[in-house]
């Protein structure tokens, strides 16, 4: 199963996926970010499909088409989102029905969205975690494949809490991708 990873950030989950020996054939990023260097260090082609607008004029369907084109050019069969910062439109779900995975740094359905770690801290929860799920058109919903709890400590900052969550993601996400493939 040829994997394409979508990323927008540091790429530590990508690194964990590569370390696990999963067959990543391409990495697509929507902005310059650390994931590109991680891909290149592993000899995996990284493609920047630049998102030029973050405003109301953003053409989401056209952008999604470009991402799908990049994935298809590399013969990708399974899409793995690892900290991808753009919500993609219907076209990617048509091209990869039931074949898009995501990891989220909270116990969904609690704290969906981009500020999951900050919101969990602000809510004062004592336990949060991470969720690996099938991505659907609606953001951070979709069938849950795996979840693991992570404790929240009194002196946590968003950074320390996110680091603790990522430690778990780095094990849980590759494991779950392997299970999904088999
Ligand atoms: C992860 O915590 C993931 O759950 C979230 O973004 C983060 C990506 O981190 N969606 P990295 O780029 O893999 O380090």
| Helix (H), strand (E) counts: the chain | 6, 7
Atom 9 (ligand 1): residue with closest C-alpha?
Answer: 83
Beta strands in the chain (DSSP E): 3-7, 24-29, 46-48, 78-81, 100-104, 127-134, 144-151
Domain boundary residue, one of 63, 97, 131: 97
The pLDDT tens digits for 1-50 are: 999 999 999 999 999 999 999 999 999 999 999 999 999 999 999 999 99
Q: Which of 66, 97, 128 is the last residue of a domain?
A: 97
Which residue has the CA at smallest separation from atom 14 of ligand 1? 12
Q: How many CA atoms lie within 13 A of 71 on its CB side?
A: 27
Counted domains in the chain:
2
Tell which of 97, 132, 148 closes a domain: 97
Q: Is the same domain home to 90 and 1?
A: yes
Q: Are 84 and 112 members of one domain?
A: no
Are residues 159 and 115 both part of a single domain?
A: yes
Q: Is 128 in the pocket of ligand 1 (CB under 6 A)?
A: no
Binned at pLDDT 50, 70 and 90, residue 120 comes out as very high
Residue 124 and residue 146 share a domain:
yes
Provide the pLDDT for residue 74. Answer: 98
Residues 115 and 57 in one domain: no
Q: Which domain holds residue 22?
A: 1-97
Q: Summarize pLDDT for 51-64 with one digit per residue, the tens.
A: 989 999 999 999 99
Same domain, 44 and 83: yes
Mean pLDDT over each residue of the chain, to the nearest integer:
97
Q: Which residue's CA is the nearest one to ligand 1's atom 10?
A: 83
Is the CB of 103 within 6 Å of ligand 1? yes
- The string of DSSP codes covering 50-98 is -----STT--HHHHHHHHHHHHHHTT--EEEESS--S---HHHHHHSTT
Q: Residue 28: phi, psi to the nearest 5?
A: -115, 125
Q: What percent of the chain has pLDDT over 70?
A: 100
Q: Decide whether any atom of ligand 1 lies within 6 Å of the 82 Cβ.
A: yes
Same domain for 107 and 86, yes or no, is no
Give the Å distance between the CA of 177 and the centre of ligand 1.
Answer: 15
| pLDDT (average), residues 105-111 | 98
Question: Do both 86 and 106 map to the same domain?
Answer: no
**121-160 residue pLDDT tens:** 999 999 999 999 999 999 999 999 999 999 999 999 999 9
Atom of ligand 1 nearest to the CA of 130: 4
Which CATH number do you get for residue 123? 3.40.50.170
């Amino acid at each position: 199963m040829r994997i394409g990873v979508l990323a927008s950030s540091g790429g530590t989950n990508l690194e964990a996926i590569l370390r696990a020996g999963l067959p990543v054939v391409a990495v697509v990023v929507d902005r310059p970010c650390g994931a590109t260097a991680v891909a290149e260090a592993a000899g995996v082609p990284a493609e920047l499909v630049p998102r030029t607008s973050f405003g109301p004029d953003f053409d989401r369907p056209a952008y999604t088409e470009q991402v799908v084109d990049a994935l298809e050019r590399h013969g990708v069969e399974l899409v793995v989102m690892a900290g991808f910062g753009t919500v993609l439109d219907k076209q990617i779900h048509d091209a990869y029905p039931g074949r898009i995975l995501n990891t989220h740094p909270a116990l969904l359905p609690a704290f969906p969205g981009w500020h999951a770690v900050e919101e969990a801290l602000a809510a004062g929860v004592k336990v949060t975690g991470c969720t690996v799920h099938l991505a659907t058109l609606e953001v951070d919903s979709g069938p849950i494949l795996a979840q693991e709890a992570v404790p929240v400590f009194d002196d946590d900052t968003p950074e320390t809490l996110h680091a603790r969550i990522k430690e778990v993601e780095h094990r849980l996400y590759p494991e779950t991708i392997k299970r999904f493939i088999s």
